[in-house]
Amino acid sequence: MRSKFTAALAGAALTTLAACASNSAHESQQEGSSTPVEVVESGQDLGLITAAPVAGWDVYGGDVDETTPIAAADLLARAEAFDGQTVVVEGTVDAACTKKGCWMIVKGGDEEMRVRFQDYAFFVPIESAGRTARMEGVFSIVETPEADVKHLLEDAGKHEEAMAHVGSVREFQLMATGVRMRE
């Protein structure tokens, strides 16, 4: 049991780019190691962060503060004021990583933010689009390098757009410690 936890923890330490790579097998070997690493399914919690069940919500990751959330549209309209702050935000999921659910896009008015999951400790279902999500985490305005933008576009199934993309992108990001989705 301890070796499975150690292997899962080692797998969680991989970069986000490597972690999103497609892998159809349920077991894989970490590069340079003979230790098998269990590959988890979309929406599965790795057990590193766990929250208690909440009626009416599917819970991923850690607890989400019970304070009244800020609407995603309000947060994104005043992004500079919230940069670097821990927030509880609620919005509609527009898309999720189609490989493992290791990120999602939440819309707010004409803007959107990428939601990633702290320490790669949990995933959301890849079919999350259209669901209402309440998330807690640190909001930031980041410059995403060109290579990462291309990778994220590939993960979203936007292959032609990924090939044509040039340059880095300024984007809004939430590094979530916990996510709830309405059932």
| Structural domains of the chain in order of their starting residue, each with its CATH number | 41-182 (2.40.50.200)
Whether 3 shows a pLDDT value over 50: the answer reads no
pLDDT at 165: 74
**Mean pLDDT across the stretch 24-52?**
46
Token match 């590939």: residue?
154
CA dist 2 and 111 (Å) reads: 43
- Compare 8 and 20 and report the one with higher pLDDT: 20
* Length, in residues, of the chain: 183
Confidence grade of residue 62 (pLDDT, cut at 50, 70, 90): very high
Q: 151-171: per-residue pLDDT in tens?
A: 888 877 887 877 887 788 899
Report in angstroms the alpha-carbon separations of 14 from 4, 120, 141: 16, 9, 23
Cβ burial, residue 63 (10 Å; 0-12/13-18/19+): middle
pLDDT at 167: 86
Confidence grade of residue 50 (pLDDT, cut at 50, 70, 90): low
Run of H or E including 56: none
pLDDT at 146: 85
Say which residues have a Cβ less than 8 Å from residue 56's Cβ, sequence separation at least 6: 182, 183
**Mean pLDDT across the stretch 66-81?**
96
Say which residues have a Cβ less than 8 Å from residue 65's Cβ, sequence separation at least 6: 88, 136
